Amino acid sequence: MDYQTFQPHIDLSEFVKCFWTLNVPKEPNPQKQRIVPDGCIELIFTLGDDVKRFVSERKHIIQPRSMVLGQITEPFYIEPMGVVDVFAIRFFPGGFIPFTTGSIKDLENKETALEALFGKNEATALEYKIIHAANTEERVQHSEAFLFAKLKDSIIFDNIVKSTIDLIFSTKGRLSIHELLKNDLSKRRQLERNFSKSVGLGPKQFARIIRFQTALKMLLNNEKGNLTNLAYENEYYDQAHFIKDFKKFTGINPHKFFTKDELILSSTFYTKD
């Protein structure tokens, strides 16, 4: 498995976290892979064979070959149908809002074809350039040109939402929205509306995902040794509360985390991100 990330142009770095590529040879017995929430929206181009996404234990859909994957609040299960060759753009939380006029909330927990967001002509033109580019460097250049063109007419990012995102990251998801707004109900409702519009999730749910992500990375890097220490470090009420969140976002008990081959892809993303 070859996973690489590339930094965006400095003028896009407020919005784009990274460009990334993933290459995996065809496997004789491909495994389902579990993708867990990370608070980001991604624009993904499948350059290799198609990818299944399971909507139930037995039923699946074929993901669009050019798509936006919105915020996910539950694990996604995918399975490659051959060679994996992917080029993608990972946006910071709230970073996708300047590039679309659609509702960010409407993208939640699903794949949306580029055509549905940008129209057939723009989507087809971008897809053609990405597919026929000679290498990743050219793909990054085409993507940045597309994003810069969109950015010219973009809305101004809500500074209150941006500062709240920054605060959630700086506190590693341990921020209490209740404490932040000092019991001001009207401000809380306004923030929740604007935050959901920009990020695709409410601030409380987003903070919960970021806190889980912090704990997940600690678990992957074996930083705290046991679940009790992990729960304590990340300010969960107790170990049971931590396990509940872990199962919510991964669909699996943390005790079984390292025994599942279907977590190889997520582990690669979150240890190298």
Domain stop point among 116, 151, 186:
151
The residue among 112, 131, 151 that closes a domain is: 151
SS3 132: helix
- The runs of H, that is alpha helices, within 66-221 are 114-118, 120-132, 136-151, 159-170, 177-180, 185-199, 203-220
According to the model, what pLDDT value does residue 30 have? 83
Tokens of 133: 């580019």
Residues 44 and 165 in one domain: no
Q: Which domain holds residue 90?
A: 2-151
68 and 179 share one domain: no
How many domains would you assign to the chain?
A: 2
Looking at the predicted structure, is the pLDDT value of residue 43 above 70? yes
Lowest mean pLDDT among 37-51, 103-117, 241-255: 241-255
Q: Which of 151, 174, 198 is the last residue of a domain?
A: 151
- Based on the domain organization, do 263 and 212 belong to the same domain? yes
Q: Please tell me whether residues 7 and 135 are part of one structural domain.
A: yes
Contact 224, 218 (CB under 8 A): yes
CATH number at residue 176: 1.10.10.60
Which H or E run contains 266? Answer: helix 264-272
Cα separation, 43 vs 256, in Å, equals 31
Give long-range contacts, CB 8 A cutoff, 24+ apart: 20-23.
20/86, 20/87, 20/88, 20/90, 21/86, 21/87, 21/88, 21/136, 22/84, 22/85, 22/86, 22/88, 23/48, 23/84, 23/85, 23/86
Q: Are 67 and 4 in contact (CB under 8 A)?
A: no
**Residue 71's pLDDT band (cuts 50, 70, 90):** very high
User: Using 50, 70 and 90 to split pLDDT, how confident is the model at 157?
Assistant: low
Tokens of 255: 């005790």
Does 191 lie in the same domain as 75?
no
In the predicted model, what is the mean pLDDT of residues 36-51? 94
Q: Is 7 helix (H, G, I), strand (E, B) or coil?
A: coil
Tell me the C-alpha distance between 34 and 79, whole Å: 9
Mean pLDDT confidence for 170-181: 74
| Contact between 246 and 34 (Cβ < 8 Å) | no
